[in-house]
Structures are given as structure tokens and as C-alpha cells.
């Protein structure tokens, strides 16, 4: 199992104050991984511009969105993900989604506050959603 320590990972400057910490790449996954993933940070008041991803990222995004939003995936999405990642890759993807979902529930249930920086979302203060209207 690979343990990634984001705090010690190299940051890639992408211009305009945007930085990305690559977490999983083909190199870090011994050429076994087809998805590159990382954490991007943006200056306050900015966000990701409209963009597209390569095929495997589109399939992973569609699969992830459907399973998290609907709790099921369509046959078409499942077939695309299975074809792109194989059974073991799908198990890894679902496990990762479950792990992050569980972590989010734990942090919310125990009311773990955000770090004392500019809030990442305008409708979140402390550990709760707030009315911004």
C-alpha cells in the first residue's frame, strides 16, 4: 500500500496562483494506475476554469458522480468504467469513494472545524452550512 503525505509532496505551480499537489500518477503507482489525481488550490475568489479531461478521467468522474449522487450507476456507465479500469480498478475506485465519504461523515458528525483560513466554500462556516442569502 502506498501512503501519500500531501504536506511533503512537491507542488506544481500552474500559473495565476494555482498550485497542484500530484497524489497518484503512473510513476507513483508503478505504472499500474491509469488515473492521475491530485489536489489543486486556487487563490481566494477564483476557481477552476471550464475544462475537459481525458477519457479515463471522464469515465471515473461519471461513475463517481452517479454512485455518490444516485447510489447506483447506469449500465452504460458501469460498462464504460469496467472497460476502462477492469474489475480491480473499479473496486479501488469504489473503495476510495467510500473512504472519502466516510471521512467526510466523521468530520461533520464530530464537528471538526476547518483550518483557520479563508473558507473554501461561501456557504460553509465552521463545521456547518450557513444561509448566504
Query: How far is it, in rounded angstroms, from Cα 122 to Cα 124?
Result: 6
What radius of gyration, in Å, describes the C-alpha atoms of the chain? 17
CB 48 within 8 A of CB 38: no
pLDDT of residue 81: 92
Handedness of CA 58, 64, 68, 73 (dihedral sign): positive
pLDDT of residue 72: 95
> How much is the average pLDDT of 95-124?
81
Instruction: Give the pLDDT band of residue 93 (cuts 50, 70, 90).
Output: very high
Unique residue bearing C-alpha cell 473496486 = 91
Query: How far is it, in rounded angstroms, from Cα 63 to Cα 69?
Result: 10
Phi, psi of 108 (to 5 degrees): -70, -45
Q: Where are the domains of the chain?
A: 10-42, 54-113
Unique residue bearing C-alpha cell 512537491 = 10
Query: How far is it, in rounded angstroms, from Cα 108 to Cα 125?
Result: 12
Instruction: Give the pLDDT band of residue 63 (cuts 50, 70, 90).
Output: very high
Q: Classify strands 18-24 and 37-41 as parallel, antiparallel or unpaired.
A: antiparallel
Phi, psi of 5 (to 5 degrees): -105, 100
Instruction: Give the pLDDT band of residue 99 (cuts 50, 70, 90).
Output: very high
Q: Please give the grid coordinates belonging to residue 81.
A: 468504467
pLDDT of residue 15: 79
* DSSP at 72: S
pLDDT, tens digit (0-9, with 9 covering 90-100), for 10-57: 787 877 788 877 776 666 556 565 556 677 778 887 777 665 566 777
Amino acid at each position: 500500500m502506498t501512503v501519500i503525505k500531501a504536506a511533503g509532496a512537491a507542488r506544481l505551480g500552474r500559473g495565476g496562483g494555482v498550485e497542484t499537489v500530484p497524489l497518484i500518477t503512473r510513476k507513483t503507482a508503478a505504472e499500474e494506475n491509469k488515473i492521475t489525481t491530485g489536489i489543486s488550490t486556487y487563490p481566494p475568489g477564483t476557481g477552476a476554469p471550464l475544462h475537459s479531461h481525458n477519457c479515463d478521467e471522464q469515465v471515473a468522474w461519471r461513475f463517481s458522480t452517479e454512485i455518490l449522487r444516485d447510489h447506483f450507476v447506469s449500465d452504460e456507465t458501469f460498462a464504460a468504467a469496467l472497460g476502462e479500469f477492469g474489475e480491480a480498478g473499479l473496486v479501488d475506485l469504489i473503495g476510495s469513494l467510500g473512504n472519502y465519504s466516510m471521512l467526510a461523515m466523521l468530520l461533520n458528525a464530530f464537528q471538526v472545524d476547518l483550518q483557520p483560513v479563508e473558507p473554501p466554500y461561501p456557504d460553509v462556516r465552521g463545521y456547518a452550512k450557513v444561509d448566504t442569502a
